[in-house]
Amino acid sequence: MSYRATLIPGDGIGPEVVAAAVRVLSAAGVDFQWETEAAGAAAIPEHGTALPDRVLESIRRNGVALKGPTETPVGTGHRSVNVELRKRLDLYANLRPVQTLPGVKSRYDGVDLIVVRENTEDLYSGLEHVVVPGVVESIKIITEKASTRIARYAFEYARTHGRKRITAVHKANIMKLSDGLFLDCCRAVAKDHPELTYDEMIVDNTCMQLVLDPTRFDVLLLENLYGDIVSDLCAGFIGGLGLAPGANIGEHGAVFEAVHGSAPDIAGRNLANPIAIILSGAMLLDHLGEHAAADHVRDAVHGVLREGKKLTHDLGGKAGTSEIAEAIAAKL
């Protein structure tokens, strides 16, 4: 079977790691017709915008996309392509599995947790204004609709993937109304799932408990901002951002991308670790129902890591991005 999918190389290390993922997916024997679209800083010279409408149209048409990271200027400049993309396509669930990988030295063994992050609202509403000079207001939006929807997604994911426990992460001791509403929605959904253990933890304590022992956690359910921060923290448990995959999922489409950003410090030097986006590609295969191919890709990644002969610099090796892709492809 052949699939049409949108391919967004993105900025910085994006084009390098996306090319590596395309190489591995083609070696996995699933035929993709890629529609390549520019987004991010890379799109501005030609299209005058970081998120041209044609990117959204392409994803709507194809239903799935593989995306490299896109750059967002700090403090000024264009709004985040990621935030816009997730909102405009209503990709409400950000799914980030965090699993210990064979052969990778990290501080913890046996980490196997799933971060489920709400992707469309919270402080990412982009509603900011100057009240008077020297005073700025940023508005945090939490709705019953989005909170219930993400909670349902997390519980359903847990139920269908053999997970046992869901921890809702919050700061409702301070943000009593907004995080309080989020918790009310999580509790209501939890009542429909007596087969799963449900508990709640304040976000600062969660960070400390995670660092003490991440193996105690199973599925973490978070609002947008806490989810963003906690997923980078969790990536550190398994060897860093070069290894952490992710997916943005909605009712009408899904965009697969690594947790990491455009890494301008190593861009264009064939130094980036492509494994995070290759594992995101495996999630894309799962999404399409190509579970055998997805498992083969993961096995091939594990094989290369276990051997430890070809590793990128973030894992203490000297291999380039393309070399890692070839080593993984050779195992397929």
287 CB burial (10 A radius; 0-12, 13-18, 19+): middle
- Within 192-274, residue ranges assigned H as helices are 203-212, 224-235
* Cβ proximity to ligand NAD, 155 vs 256, nearer residue: 256
Query: Which residue from 62, 72, 94, 120 is in contact with ligand NAD, where contact means CB under 6 A?
Result: 72
Least distance in Å: CB of 279 to ligand NAD? Answer: 11
* Cβ proximity to ligand NAD, 170 vs 260, nearer residue: 260
* Cβ proximity to ligand NAD, 118 vs 257, nearer residue: 257
* Cβ proximity to ligand NAD, 224 vs 262, nearer residue: 262
Which residue in this structure is represented by tokens 């943005």? Answer: 248
Q: Helix, strand, coil % (nearest 5) of the chain? A: 45, 20, 35
Q: In 90-114, which positions are buried (b, 16+ CB within 10 angstroms) versus exposed (e)?
A: ebbbbbbbbbbbeebeeeeeebebb
How big is the site for ligand NAD, counted in residues (CB under 6 A)? Answer: 21
Q: Please report, in angstroms and rounded to a whole number, the separation of the first and last CA atoms in the chain.
A: 18
270 CB burial (10 A radius; 0-12, 13-18, 19+): middle
What are 263's strand-pairing partners? none
Regarding 301 and contact with ligand NAD (CB under 6 A), the answer is no
Regarding 231 and contact with ligand NAD (CB under 6 A), the answer is no
Regarding 230 and contact with ligand NAD (CB under 6 A), the answer is no
Least distance in Å: CB of 153 to ligand NAD? Answer: 19
Site for ligand NAD in 76-95 (CB under 6 A): 82
Residues whose CB is less than 8 angstroms from the CB of residue 197 and which lie 6 or more positions away in sequence, other chains included = 164, 165, 166
Query: Which residue from 7, 28, 51, 71 is in contact with ligand NAD, where contact means CB under 6 A?
Result: 71
Query: Which residue from 241, 284, 293, 294 is in contact with ligand NAD, where contact means CB under 6 A?
Result: 241
CA dist list (Å): 230 to 50, 122, 289: 27, 15, 29
* Cβ proximity to ligand NAD, 167 vs 273, nearer residue: 273
Query: Per-residue x/- mask for ligand NAD, residues 255 to 294, rule CB under 6 A?
Result: --x--xxxxxxx-----xx--x------------------
Active site residues: 124, 171, 204, 228
* Cβ proximity to ligand NAD, 65 vs 272, nearer residue: 272
Q: In sequence order, what E strands does the chain have?
A: 2-8, 31-36, 64-67, 93-99, 112-118, 128-132, 135-138, 165-170, 197-202, 219-222, 247-249, 254-256
| Gap between the Cα atoms of 97 and 151, Å rounded | 16
Regarding 16 and contact with ligand NAD (CB under 6 A), the answer is no
Interface segment toward ligand NAD; rule CB under 6 A; list 54-62, 65-73, 172-180, 323-331: 65-73
Query: Which residue from 6, 58, 62, 70 is in contact with ligand NAD, where contact means CB under 6 A?
Result: 70
Residue pair 319/277 in contact by the 8 Å Cβ criterion: no
Residue nearest to ligand NAD (CB): 261
Least distance in Å: CB of 273 to ligand NAD? Answer: 4
Contact positions vs ligand NAD (CB under 6 A): 13, 17, 69-72, 82, 241-242, 257, 260-266, 272-273, 276, 314
